[in-house]
Structure 1
């Protein structure tokens, strides 16, 4: 017990010394790098529609990962199917025409991925395979967010 007390006291001294050294260290503040992503200039309603779709993707990914954790491939497939190509038809043609071809191609690819994930989850019932597919699809989401920002004239400071 004596050694435990000495160890705790030593740790407290080290914590105090570290905290003091951090207080004395110069503060380095770096300005954020300029945002060089392509701006998608959309109306507030169009912006809201795209962002809502992204939130639906995220919600479905959460549902899928929860289902995969329980090895519930039926629920995984159902969540993936909801994000498949059927969603593409919900985007108004006027909005689709405003989006760059590369953005649309990436979006279609993600929707097709979700359809494939659903089919494979139903047929293969392999959690590892589905997780690998989901990981690859999420990398497409990351690349899209790295390449594009969405702005509207009334909401110019938000991304």
Structure 2
């Protein structure tokens, strides 16, 4: 084979590899594993154990929000710091990589934004001791929760249940 033919073959192979990589990134990083529900929401299809991880995280947010509201009623900024800090980005790192690959990019972006919000609420509550600011920040964060629940649904894939 001549050098020119070798170059063409190498370029074709490299091109095919690049297309494969782009396709895999699109599938596993951007799109995730989804479908569409009758109500227009995007259904994120997860195995039972993965679904439990996502729903547990959402319940932790809900419990934390309820506890924050009680702390705000007592005007206890220190409690708000203690409640919100574990809900920040530290919690986001507990998601298994295989699960993260199944989640659409917009869902992951929104989730990270909520975790960042809790970090910011904790830092500001600690620095400023202003419960009203914490409540305003929580209201902004809750808008993201509402948007997420209006956009997505977590479901099991079709087929036999375990």
Structure 1 segments, 4+ long, off by >4 Å, are: none
2:156 aligned with 1:152, yes or no? yes
Partner of 1:15: none
Partner of 1:59: 63
Deviation at 1:155, TM superposition (A): 8.9
Give the 5 Å matches for 1:109-120: 109-120=113-124
Deviation at 1:153, TM superposition (A): 2.6
TM-score, L = length of structure 2: 0.73
Give the 5 Å matches for 1:40-119: 40-119=44-123
Is contact 1:44-1:154 (8 Å) kept?
no
- Consecutive unaligned residues of structure 2, counting only runs of 5 or more, are 1-37
Distance 1:127 1:85 in 2: 21
Partner of 2:144: 140
Is contact 1:83-1:115 (8 Å) kept?
yes
Q: 1:46 to 1:114 in 2, by over 3 A?
A: same
Deviation at 1:70, TM superposition (A): 0.3
Partner of 2:135: 131
- What is the Cα-based RMSD across aligned positions, in Å? 1.5
Deviation at 1:97, TM superposition (A): 0.8
User: Could you say which structure has the larger radius of gyration?
Assistant: 1
Residues 88-146 of structure 1 show CA distances to partners (whole Å, capped at 9, x for unaligned) of 11000000011000000000000000000000000111111111000000010000000
Distance 1:142 1:59 in 2: 16
TM-score, L = length of structure 1: 0.75
Is contact 1:117-1:133 (8 Å) kept?
yes
